[in-house]
Structure 1
Amino acid sequence: MVKRKLFLKKLTYLIILFFAINTNVLSQKTTIYTHDNATYNSALELYDKEKFSAAQEKFAQVLQHIKNDKSEIAVDAMYYHALCGLELFNIDAENLLIKFIYAYPESPKVKLAYFHLGKYHFRKKDYDEALKWFEKIDIYDLSEEELAEYHFKIGYSHFMKKEYEKASTSFYEIKDVDTKYTSSAKYYYGHIAYLQKKYESALQTFLTLSNDEKFSPIVPYYITQIYYLQKNYSKVIEYAPALLDTALPKRVPEISRLIGEAYYNTNKFSESIPYLKRFHKEKTTEISRTDNYELGYAYYKTDSCELAIVWFKKAIGKDDSLTQTTHYHIAECYLKLGEKKYARNSFRIASQLEFDPQIKEDALFSFAKISYELSIHPYNDAIIAFEEFINTYPNSAKLNDAYEFLVAVYFTTKNYEAALASLEKIKNKNIQLEEAYQKIAYYRGIELFNNRKYPEAILHFDKSDTYQLDKKIKADNCYWRAEAYYRLDKNEQAIAAYKKYIFEPEAIVANQVNKAHYSIGYAYFNLKEYNNANEWFRKYVQNAKEENTKIKNDALNRIGDCFYITKDYKAAIEYYDKAALLGLDKLDYSLYQSAVVNGVVGNYNDKISLLNTLINRKEKSHLLDDAIFHLAKTQLIINETDNALVNFQLLIKDYPNSPYLSQALIKEGLIYYNRKDDQNALIAFKTVVTNYTETDDAKEALQKIKKIYIDKGELGSYEDYLVSIGGADSSIMVMDEDYFEVAENSYMKNKCDKAVNELTKYLEKYPNGNYVLNAHYYKADCEYRSGFEDEALINFNYIIEQPKNKFSESALLKAGQLNTNLGKPEDALNNYSQLEYLADIPSNVFIAQVEQMRLNFQLKRPDEAIKYCELIINKDIDDANLITEAHLIYGKAVLEKDDYNLALKEFTTASTSANVFGAEAKYNVAYILCLRGEHEKCEAEVFSLIKKFSSYSYWIGKSLILLADNYVATTDFFQAKVTLKNVIDNSKFPELVNTASEKLAIIEQQEAAQKIVEEEPILDLNLTNDKNLEKLFNEKEEVIEEDLPELNKIIDSEIEDKFKDE
């Protein structure tokens, strides 16, 4: 088409030359007209020499002096004068040329004026105006050279307006014609084809430019890219490597990527790795997630799993299909490396994303299966996952496997609560699931029992009995149900449950029947049904196989108690003596009780002998003050007055807090009184009145004091004494007994509302009455039982503030409990400290020590806490939970003192327990290991905690947060984030979720700060440094070179989009 047009134009020119008067009208380089005007000719010469300023002056002179403005020379002068202005970029140049067009519309130079105006606007990059003037041109008026220029510039103008079809048409007209614009036209024609994804056309065009002086530096990159985009990877592999030797450094990374991608897409992963690595190494800006994934996948396919994981982790970003696929492959890599715990995390995330259904299904099953295999269930993961799998994929080929695993995980998980909840969702259970339900409900009941949640434990033992398939578990349910009732003080229900257990066949097999006999005995004992209790305790003793046991010793003592209470003293002595013969830790009790009963039946010598044995034992007994007091009393009975006085005085001196102290003082006073030693008698009696005001002992002592003064005839001295003690006599002698008795009767009948009202009235009426102490205690006890804690505390404190009395011990115990409940640890600690010092009941002393251990630690007094921890740990007690708690507190206390070694020892000991204290201790073991930088051990400890203590979700969450910190310390931010997200998604504790969220945000901020975000084209096709191209894209003839970077961005954007598609 172009060639035909050129031929027709030549023919036209010949005709014009033949017929026209002026033969060179359309030539760009104006032939000098033969003209008489020398000035005009001189101007034309200057114009042809491109001396436009001088030429314009000459043409102006011509126009100034010429008389006929219609003459040919006048027309031509005006035309050239305007062209000189265009070349000089004069402000009025365009207007001069337009003026010419309107002044001489018939002039043959008007067509050329259009062309020059188009070029003028093209040079100014005003492509709309350029096209407006170019479109007025008749191409047959242009020379070959002008026609080529016309097609190129009109094509480029359309190109810059993104009118690619029109641009392509114009470039097509000259791309195969030999002109100075040919190679440029080919380049842009090929580039437009490239943009329009006409890759084959673009390829063929660029191939013709392979040896072009101007474009050979750039077309190889197009050719490489097109081969890639055409998925002609063998051509990429064949063509592109040679470019690496000559390419500019900044182009090397992307060429390497194209080659690596080509190998990658032909499954030649081993060959792809060197090129992909070079791309990653030499790329100076941020690498895309896809690029990281591909290098990771190449390593994965070549079994370089450790390296694969490194690059896969860098490919993870927002929730999308790439993230899901990447997590799945990370999981597979960890499996190949034998790191199931890490694989589990990545399968979890892949299963939570919805982009690839097949990956989601397989990842969910794999996550559940690995959780089961590892016995790691931080949030009941395996159970929930298998349930989800079964519900979501009812037609899966793995459905039967899922059911089998679900049943298996019920038995292996330690989280019986979650397992039971899962089973209860299944309405139609087969025999296998019914067996599972029976066992898991039972295990959950035992777990609750061990945590002292007895009502909930009973509920689960009942649930277990829903399916009575396993006879042993059925029997065990009976036993532990009875134990729970017993600990709830529901003795009637406990007795019934124990008796039911006795008749279970499996109970006999388990050899637990006799233990039930013992427990039934205690339940009856608590009910004060002593004959029944006696019967069951004796059944236990008769069937006990081991002679020297603590339980047998205790049972013998309880039999003795039963006989003593029912006044069968001979039998009581017999069983106390049997217990004493065992020589165990209750020997002091057996000796004391036997002595008491011997005293009751008048065997005073035996009583004295037994009490002396007790007193003289090497082991100190809490019954020593009891023994000394009763020894002295017995000696007094048999008229061994001197010995009695010695022992009473021993008690008074060595046991100032003994409840027998006031009685010992009265006995001492009586001995002195009988000896006529009134002075010492008065001292003893007055001590009782002063220290035990408002007690019966004080009343008795005051009567003795009065008698002594009367006997001596010193009533005045007695009156003075009464005044000195503030009228003690009146407070004791007031006849308020009847009024108090009414209130006391209500209290004894457990009518607490009425009793509180009556006791309040009594205290208001008789603030110094004989029964004020009793009234305050009864009132406090009723308020305590009714939940009026503040009011009860006021009355208990009144008791505590009085000299030691019969209510002091109980008041201190309950005040300590109330202050603890009310958040007053300092006051509670003070109560328990006094209780330990004043208590006579061993169990209360022990309670005081336990609570001081707890409260001292709570109040950050580690040394005191440690003291009581050691005391409890060294006691011979059967409460394993308490021993574990003591080791735990011991560990935390020494940890506060930075003694990591001892703390670790104590935590390790405590962590062997399966209760909540064990869970906390296990956490602290991991915590210390993390502090020490023993990160592998810390991780192992956390996983051990999750496996062993899966029921304790708080400590699971804490340990996972610690594990995340441990990962951060080893710069494994990927695992840290996965772990924290697990807590955020599953924990029910807001404080843990908040902590995990804060830590996750910090990690993500740190990662973001490390990234260098900078936009850069995939391939920089900037040609501005090419000197050959500068000649083409010069100011006068061609595209301004600064347009090319924008072109490059267009090219690069297309390639980047293609990579994303891939």
Structure 2
Amino acid sequence: MRLLRIVYTSALFFSFASAHAQQSRIYTYENRDYQEALELYNSKQYQAAQAIFEKVKDNSDDPELEANAAYYSANAGIRLNQLGADKMMEDFMERYPTSVKRNAAFMDVADYYFTHGKYAQALKWYDRAEDLGLSRSNREEFNFKKGYSLFAAKKYRDARKYLERVSATAKYGAQAKYYIGYMAYQTDDYNQANQYFDQVASDGELNSNLSYYKADMNFKLGKFDEAIALAKEQLPTADRKEVSQLNKIIGESYFNKKEYEAALPYLKAYKGSQGRWSLTDYYQLGYVYYQQGMYQEAIAEFNKITDDSNGVAQNAYYHLGECYLRTGKKQEALNAFRNAAQMDFDLTISKDAWLNYARLSYEIGNPYESVPNVMMAYLDRYPDSEHSEEVKSLLVDSYLTSGNYEEAMTMLKKNRNYGDKATYQRVAFYYGLELFNRENYPEASRYFQLAIEEPHHANITSRAAFWKAEAEYITGAYNQAVIGYKQFKQMPGSRSTSEYADVDYHLGYAYFNQKDYANASEHFNAYVNNGKGDDQQQFDAFLRLGDSRFANREYWPAMEAYNKVIERGGKGTDYAWYQKAISYGFVNRTDDKIKTLQNFVTTYPQSTLKDDALYELGNTYVNSNNEPEGVNAYRRLAEQYPMSSLVPKAILKEGLVYYNGGSNAKALERFKKVVSNYQGSEEAMQAVATAKLIYVDEGRVEEYANWVRGLDFVEVTDEELDNASFEAAERHHAEKDHNRAVRSLQGYLDQFPRGIHHVKAHYYLAESFYELDNKAGALEHYEFVANVGGSVYNERSLARTADIYLERKENATAIPYLERLENTADYPQNLMFARSNLMKAFYELKQYDRALNYAEKVLNQQGVDDRIKGDAWIVIARSARETGNEQRARTAYREVAEVATGGLAAEALYYDAYFKHKDGDFEASNQAAQRLARDFAGYKETGAMGLVLMAKNFNALDDAFQATYILENVIKNFTQYPEITREAELELEKIKTQENLNEDNLAREQK
């Protein structure tokens, strides 16, 4: 409150009058020292005077002179602020009780303290003078001074008692009424304050001080027009501090009259209390801006209310949300409405804020909680709201838009009145798709069936049938898949779906995997004839059409299909060329077959089928009685592809050519090479058997026996028992009686550990253990077969061995098997398996350069689906990040976004926001982070990272409220990710430190 500007007058000290009255008497004492001291005292040279008075007091024989000297010495001490001066005066009172100066002393000391503004000390002496016999004029002065001293000490009740005693006097009445009115003003008794102030209004000096108080009182009484008029009247003559307060009175009065345009300049001119604004101050200025459509300015003021929880803050957050909505900043509006909704100071505002929070959550997504949970919370809190039907509708739709189908199903099962049967069908279908993408095919199939059983949307019913068939296809139920695909084709809504164009393609594969090549051929042909589907899928369909016809012995039609592939060109044409060559052989066009194989070997030197082509070329030459060329082809195969599983076959075939041609020595050399390099393989067994014929024919039986005894994989006796024992075990395996197969195969190996069929037995044993989900048991036997080499089971065993180690997270152990598989794989899918897992394994082992190399190989391989492409691009992106190649990481994440779904898509979107933040494009970064919150709400960790990034963007955009609010929510709601919450805490601390610094600077400027 403003300070009083009253100049007080006081009577002359009794001491002065007393001093002059005694002067003639002193002279009669002829005490020159006393006279000199008195002159010094009256000229305010108290130190010198006191020294002489003390001398007089100590040496005088005159009691009165001694008393007077003691009196003046004590008075001088008081005026010199000496420690113990009050005690000196008290000693004077006790020592000289008959002194004529004793009565004057109380008032003299009190008036001295009063005059110097030391009201607490003055009161002490006025209390002692209370009962002295004072004259009437002296009594009035005493009452006024004591009353004012009590007023200054804020003892208003006692002060009023003394001031009222002089309120009717001519000398003190006006001032007394002023102070009584002021005390009533201070205690909010404005009616009484006005009564007293009105009585002194005619006093020019006092009235000039009343305008401020009257303006403030009228404001507090709600008389805003009077307050405005009085404050404006006072403004021109007010001091700096009063100007600020008067502007506040005028501005807030206009505010309360809802005259916001008039209020604005006055509210802006207010400097705050001690240089600081209150929440109400910021709110009022912000609201004035809001009412005039100045939303950016309003946002700036409302944003200064960030750390309080009260009614003003709730109003501010609500109107902040309104301002953000009007400026198109919906994420910011969502945060503000959420804050307002969580406060209960004004229930009407809470309710409306909740509604806006729910609507915005539906529209743009919610990074803090699932959108359906927001809707449910609103309905629980306001079950009778006039907007409940709207929110129920948004609730159901939010499940579909947010992709939170699992919670949707839970909610619909508990509250079927929140959605009709058509809604239930949609949710069941989309939840089925979610489960399908998670590779939970049995559960996906169950929910697709639920959608089919609620046939309210023909489009969804037919799509559910298609995807149910897809789930059955993936789980190997090919016959059920065929039925499902056919049902889909016949459904009324199927033709309008995106899946319809590809259904023949999927039917073709379902028949193909059942070896029903006639039907497979029919559907692949139908698919390629309709000309729909992407180029890669059309290409694949022609290949499978050719394979189906080939398997069905329709070789000329097969070649037509392969020719279509060749015409299109690109990756995969090598396979078509190879198959075309083989087809020529089956239609007795041997020359064409040889020519095509020769062209193939030349045209596709890097093809994974080149070893097959060389082997087939060798066989074809031999069968055409061109043994030299055949041998040449076999030799090229062995030299160029030493790791190929066809090498032992080629060497064996070369040996058989020599044997059949009578070149036994050459034949034995070839057979022994097979036996030496590929021990335990079937080719090695056949080589031993054929070599035996040569040794027997040449009468070298003992030499043969010596040779065979050195081979630990050949049993030279009990061959018939060996075959019989294995045949029984093999039958159990073929019948898929895995438990019996395991016992039989293990028994065979126990009896014939190096028997004729021991490699195959190990492989069958591994497969049986695998089917029984005993992967530890399977691993031992897969590794055995993988390490033998040259076996037809080698490729699959390598893949299985690597896969089991990968499941165990033993990447370093898996890598050698994957590398061998990459070098020997005949099947593209195994090659893809090897490369994609080598890529991931090297990344996990932090060998980023090798991971990048394999990721590039994966992307360059034919027929890579989007899921594997996404994996490759994410490895490139992450490896590039780890190696500091940010530009490559940016490019890779853009590619990830094109093909990935789920968590990888969420990661790609996060880094889109991250790189935009680094570039200083904070608005665009926030848009990406908001998409992350809306479209990938289920990926909490990535979402939390996006929120911290969003807060940094808002801080960079000078929106401290949004930044603070988001970070506080991350800290509160994502404790399961301590690294993220720690980052949020550090960022929040940095923002608050800066905000405090800004406030301090502003306060200094306003002072």
TM over 0.5: yes
Q: Report the equivalent of 1:426.
A: 415
Q: TM-score, normalised by structure 1?
A: 0.77
Q: Secondary structure at the match of 1:616?
A: helix
Matches within 5 A, 1:434-833: 434-465=421-452, 467-507=454-494, 519=506, 522-523=509-510, 526=513, 528=514, 530=515, 534-535=518-519, 538=522, 541=525, 545-546=529-530, 549-550=538-539, 553=542, 556-557=545-546, 559-560=548-549, 563=552, 571-573=553-555, 576-577=558-559, 579-580=561-562, 582-583=564-565, 605-606=588-589, 609-610=592-593, 612-617=595-600, 618-619=603-604, 622-705=608-691, 708=694, 727-728=711-712, 737=722, 750=736, 768=754, 770-789=756-775, 792-833=778-819
The separation in 2 between residues aligned to 1:792 and 1:371, in whole angstroms, is: 51
1:174 aligns with 2:163: no
Deviation (angstroms), 1:195: 2.6
Residues 705, 551 of structure 1: CA spacing in aligned structure 2 closer, same or farther, 3 A cutoff? closer
Corresponding residue SS for 2:417 = coil
- CA-to-partner distance for each residue in 1:150-197, whole Å, 9 max, x for gaps? 324543564576542112211222355355x77775565444323322
1:323 aligned to 304, 313, 326, which one? 313
Structure 2 counterpart of 1:934, which letter? D
Cα distance in 2 for residues equivalent to 1:635 and 1:940: 67
Q: Paired residues, what number?
A: 963
| Pair 1010,790 (structure 1): closer, same or farther in 2 beyond 3 Å | farther
Amino acid at match of 1:392: R
Which residue of 1 is the match for residue 147 of structure 2?
155
For 1:390, the equivalent position in structure 2 comes to 379
1:416-467 residue CA offsets vs partner (Å, 9 max, x unmatched): 445545444423256xx32222123223323443453423422331332453
With the length of structure 2 as denominator, give the TM-score of the two structures: 0.81
CA distance in 2, matches of 1:40, 1:171: 46
Q: Give the Å deviation of 1:273.
A: 3.0
Residues 711 and 1017 of structure 1: CA distance in aligned 2, closer, same or farther (over 3 Å):
closer
Whether the 8 Å contact between 2:371 and 2:399 is mirrored in structure 1 is no
Q: Which residue of 2 aligns with 1:146?
A: 138
Distance 1:370 1:318 in 2: 24
Any unmatched runs of 5+ in structure 1? 1-23, 67-73, 564-570, 1021-1062
- Structure 2 gap ranges (5+): 1-13, 43-48, 78-84, 533-537
* From 950, 968, 981, the counterpart of 1:994: 981
Distance 1:925 1:124 in 2: 71
- Matching residue of 2:893: 907
**1:513 shift after superposition:** 7.8
Rounded to whole Å, the distance in 2 between the matches of 1:82 and 1:677 is 153
Task: Render the CA deviation track for 1:874-897: whole Å, top value 9, x for unaligned.
Answer: 555373333344444444455556
What is the CA-CA distance between 1:812 and the residue it aligns to?
1.9
Corresponding residue to 2:183 among 165, 172, 192: 192
Aligned CA distance change for structure 1 residues 142 and 510 (closer, same or farther; 3 Å): closer
Aligned to 1:1033: none
Whole-Å separation in 2 of the counterparts to 1:979 and 1:646 = 74
Deviation at 1:319, TM superposition (A): 2.5
Closer/same/farther in 2, CA of residues 137 and 652 from structure 1, 3 Å limit? closer
> Residues 234-249 of structure 1 correspond to what in structure 2 (within 5 A)?
234-240=225-231, 249=240
Indicate the SS of the match to 2:461: helix
Within the candidate set 348, 353, 364, 1:358 is matched to: 348
Per-residue deviation at 1:32?
A: 5.0
Cα separation, 2, equivalents of 1:138 and 1:482: 112
Counterpart contact for 2:894–2:908, Cα < 8 Å: yes
1:837 to partner: Cα distance: 1.1
Deviates more, 1:912-921 or 1:212-221: 212-221
For 1:859-885, what per-residue CA distance to the aligned partner results, in whole angstroms no more than 9, with x for missing partners? 455554454444444555373333344
1:26–1:142 CA contact under 8 A, matched in 2: no
Q: Give the match for residue 388 of structure 2.
A: 399
Identity of aligned residues (%): 26
Distance, in Å, in 2 between the alignment partners of 1:458 and 1:782 is 27
Task: Using the TM superposition, give the Cα deviation of residue 355 of structure 1 relative to its aligned residue in structure 2, in angstroms.
Answer: 1.9
The answer to whether the aligner puts 1:968 opposite 2:955 as a matched pair is: yes
Q: Distance in 1 between matches of 2:376 and 2:856?
A: 47
One-letter identity of the residue aligned with 1:193 = A
Question: What do residues 462-500 of structure 1 show as CA deviations (whole Å, max 9, x unaligned)?
Answer: 332453212332222122111111112233543453454
| CA 262–509 in structure 1, closer or farther in 2 if over 3 Å, else same | closer
- Residues 992, 157 of structure 1: alpha-carbon distance in 2 compared, 3 angstrom cutoff: same
User: Which residue of structure 1 aligns with residue 46 of structure 2?
Assistant: none
SS in structure 2 of the partner of residue 806 of structure 1: coil
- Separation (CA, whole Å) in 1 of partners of 2:276 and 2:223: 28
Describe the superposition over 1:968-1001 as per-residue Cα deviations: whole angstroms up to 9, x where unpaired. Answer: 3334333323344455566696358625643553
Query: How far apart in 2 are the matches of 1:310 and 1:922?
Result: 30
Shift of 1:307: 1.2
The alpha-carbon deviation at position 776 of structure 1 amounts to 4.2
Partner Cα distance (1:205, 1:46) in 2: 50
Distance 2:997 2:775 in 1: 58
Contact in 1 for aligned 2:399/2:408 (Cα 8 Å):
yes
More moved, 39-48 vs 898-907: 39-48
Deviations along 1:904-935, one digit per CA (max 9) or x if unpaired, are: 44433442447223333233222222222222
Residue-by-residue CA offset, 1:374-433 (whole Å, 9 max, x unaligned): 444546755443333333223333334434544555565555445545444423256xx3
**Pair 459,997 (structure 1): closer, same or farther in 2 beyond 3 Å:** farther
Deviation at 1:665, TM superposition (A): 0.9
Provide Cα deviations, 1:490-517, integer angstroms capped at 9, x if missing partner.
Answer: 3354345345445534447769789656
- Residue-by-residue CA offset, 1:91-118 (whole Å, 9 max, x unaligned): 45424424656xx7xx999876776797
Residue 94 in structure 1 maps to residue 90 in structure 2? yes
The answer for the alignment partner of 1:927 in structure 2 is 914
Deviation at 1:835, TM superposition (A): 1.2
RMSD: 4.8
Distance 1:199 1:278 in 2: 26
Identify if the C-alpha distance between structure 1 residues 989 and 439 changes in structure 2 by more than 3 Å, giving closer, same or farther.
farther
**C-alpha distance in 2 between matches for 1:648 and 1:1015:** 90
Shift of 1:203: 5.4
Change (3 A) 1:561 1:86: same
Once the 2 structures are TM-superposed, how far is the Cα of residue 692 of structure 1 from its aligned partner?
0.6
Provide closer, same or farther for how the CA distance between residues 799 and 241 of structure 1 changes in structure 2, counting only shifts above 3 A: farther
Contact 1:678–1:708 (CA<8 Å) still a contact in 2? yes
Partner amino acid for 1:296? G
**Shift in alpha-carbon separation, 1:510–1:150, aligned structure 2, 3 A:** closer
1:939 matches 2:929: no
Contact persistence 1:46–1:55 (CA under 8 A): no
Shift of 1:838: 0.6
- Between the aligned partners of 2:433 and 2:1004, the Cα distance in structure 1 is 67
Deviation at 1:660, TM superposition (A): 2.0
CA distance in structure 2 between the aligned counterparts of 1:604 and 1:952, rounded to whole angstroms: 58
Task: Give the SS at the match of 2:303.
Answer: helix
